[in-house]
Amino acid sequence: MDDSRQVRVPAPVLTPAEMEERLALMRKFPTAMDLRARARRLMPNFAFEYMDGGAGIDGGIKRNWAALDAVELVPRYGKVIAPPPADTMLFGRAYSAPVGIAPIGGPGTAFPGAETYFARAAQAARVPYTLGVLSGITVEDAAKIAPDVLWYQLYRFSNNDHKIGMDLVDRAQRSGVHVLVLTIDTPARTVRSREVKSGIVNPFKLTMRLRLDAMTSPHWLSSLAKNGIPRFVSLNPYMPPNTSLADSAAFVRREQGGAFTWEEVEKYRARWKGPLVLKGVLHPADAEKAVSLGVDGLFVTNHGGRQIEALPTSIDALPAIKAAVGNKATLILDSGIRSGIDVARAIACGADAAFAGKSFLWSLGALGPKGPGHLINVYTDDVRATLGQLGCKTVEELHGVTVRHPGAWKMSDFG
């Protein structure tokens, strides 16, 4: 569990023109859902379906939203408090808000150049950015853009005794990455029907159908012209030089797959010297097991409803996981976050911070490179307003707020 000392992260100093632009964006797009609506209008259909679709008929996404909406927070009045800061310590480092960007594989399909824009916005605002291993920039380059806030997410590359996986860990370590995240919740490949129907092919290729679709979006095309077709460049050193897009996709299919076993988690624990987080935990017994192996934090998540629709919502699983691990692990919640109020709900239910995936892609789809910074502002301002309304002077005080959480799993539900 994190040190709760309040360390203030200095706010960036804005010029009057930047301040005016910030206010104008707040007036036009005050919520994540406003960004989603604009992204739907501006993006090619396939890009929007990739960023927005879930497993099956989106049942998991709908339940994530409904479960968060159902959580009520009870305010306490009768004291004067200054506008509270949103600063948050995570794994010994001060961030400006309890909000982060979750790992997204192949975000360049949704918006070419996404990784660079995320990294810049996160560094400027001092919030965590989790670069996914399946990304269009290398961990070394991401660390140059976001030296203070970079986290790195790894899938399982287990061939030859994890040669590639371990090398990626070493590269992340050398690059100064703050936190390593191992994703364990994709043991099977599942179907995201909207993505399939949109015509996206793997490896990404501008087929005639996608070209015609892309022609409807100058916004997407101009980012493609600037950034090129997305490739998984962190994996280049492990492939023969000049490997084609098709061959590199075949390489990823051969080398990456399955979910980390507990023995493998132990190996990565031994190799990685910094904070280690396991992403995908929904059962308290898995949470306890992870902590017993020396894992420092858990992402409580159902992968944003993108794996199968029947998984518990992360907000409903969270209290039992908190009860199981107590203060022995930092808890990050994701899946369904669309506002700073959702972030506050997550913290009041036991998390230390909340991350978002889809809404950061919507922000790019709506506003291009300016989108992620704007969304961070929306979430941060909203967290601060929520703290003030509830009578909390700090993010830490959210842990003491009275909560009504009708969908929460109880320990006894887990049998």
Ligand X SMILES: Cc1cc2nc3c(=O)[nH]c(=O)nc-3n(C[C@H](O)[C@H](O)[C@H](O)COP(=O)(O)O)c2cc1C
Cα–Cα nearest to 383, from 327, 352, 411, 344: 344
Q: Which of 178, 303, 374, 405 is catalytic?
A: 303
Per the listing, tokens 């190799």 go with: 271
- Judge if the upstream peptide bond of residue 203 is cis by omega within 30 degrees of 0: yes
Min dist CB 134 to ligand X, Å, is 5
Backbone angles phi, psi at 208, to 5 degrees: -55, -40
CA–CA dist 185, 155 (Å, integer)? 10
- Burial of 326-363, coded b for 16+ CB within 10 Å and e otherwise, reads eeebbbbbbbbbbbbbbbbbbbbbbbbbbbbbbbbbbb
Min dist CB 49 to ligand X, Å, is 10
Element housing 253 (H / E): helix 245-255
- Residue closer to ligand X by CB (options 76, 254) is 254
Q: Is 303 a catalytic residue?
A: yes
Min dist CB 65 to ligand X, Å, is 8
Min dist CB 344 to ligand X, Å, is 16
Give the binding site for ligand X (CB under 6 A): 50-51, 64, 102-105, 132, 134, 153, 183, 279, 301, 303-304, 306, 334-337, 356-359
CA–CA dist 94, 5 (Å, integer)? 9
- Residue closer to ligand X by CB (options 67, 104) is 104
- The CA-based angle 364-368-372, given to 5 degrees, is 50
CA–CA dist 15, 163 (Å, integer)? 48
- Residue closer to ligand X by CB (options 152, 392) is 152
Residue nearest to ligand X (CB): 357
Q: With contact defined as beta carbons under 8 Å apart, do 115 and 150 qualify?
A: no
CA–CA dist 137, 230 (Å, integer)? 9
Min dist CB 56 to ligand X, Å, is 15
Min dist CB 400 to ligand X, Å, is 26
- Residue closer to ligand X by CB (options 219, 303) is 303
- Residue closer to ligand X by CB (options 126, 358) is 358
- Residue closer to ligand X by CB (options 269, 338) is 338
Residue 335, phi-psi category: left (phi > 0), alpha (psi -120 to 50), beta (remainder): left
- Residue closer to ligand X by CB (options 85, 248) is 248
CA–CA dist 309, 61 (Å, integer)? 8
Q: Note every long-range contact of 3-9, with CB atoms under 8 Å and residues 24 or more positions apart, other chains counting.
A: 3/89, 3/92, 4/89, 4/396, 5/89, 6/85, 6/87, 6/394, 6/396, 7/87, 7/89, 7/94, 8/85, 8/87, 8/94, 9/87, 9/94, 9/95, 9/96, 9/126
Min dist CB 306 to ligand X, Å, is 6
Tokens coding 306:
């993108």
Positions annotated as catalytic residues are 303
